Amino acid sequence: MKIHQSAALSPKLAEQSVRMGRLLARLRRARKVKQEYAAALAGVSRNSAFRIEKGDGAVAISQILRYLDAISPGMTLQELLNEAAPEFTESPPIPKRQRVRSRTQEKGADTE
C-alpha cells in the first residue's frame, strides 16, 4: 500500500517544510535564477524544483540541499533557515498580484 509522504508529516513538520520551500523560492527569485536553470544545476527535474519550493514533504533532503547549492553555492541549510543571506534583508518579498475588476463592470452590475 502506497502512503503519501506529505500525509505522514505532522502539521508542525509540514509547516516547516513549506517555510523552507518559500525561503528557497524567495532566495532564487532574489538572485534572479530561473527555476528551470536551478533545477538543471541541481540535477533534479523542474517538477521536483516546483515541489521543493512548494514544501512537498516527499522530496529527498539530498535534492533540497543540491537545489540550495545550485541557487546559492556554499550556503548551508542553517543559513537559509536563519535568513542569513543578504537577499533576505535587502528587500521584502513582492506580494502576489491580484486581479482587480474594472469599475465599469461593477457599475454595470449595480444598474441592472
**What average pLDDT score do residues 2-15 get?**
74
Q: pTM (2 decimals)?
A: 0.71
Residue 42 confidence class, pLDDT cut points 50, 70, 90: very high
Q: Which CA distances in Å does 75 have to 5, 86, 97?
A: 27, 12, 30
**What average pLDDT score do residues 6-22 get?**
88
Residue 18, CA atoms < 13 Å, CB-side half-sphere: 8
- Residue range 5-89 in CATH 1.10.260.40: yes
pLDDT value of residue 60 = 94
| Tens digits of residue pLDDT in 56-95 | 999 999 999 999 999 999 999 999 999 887 777 765 556 7
Q: Which residue, 46, 34, 91, is CA-closest to 83?
A: 91
Residues with Cβ within 8 Å of 73's Cβ and at least 6 positions away in sequence, in order, are none
Domain boundaries of the chain, sorted by first residue: 5-89
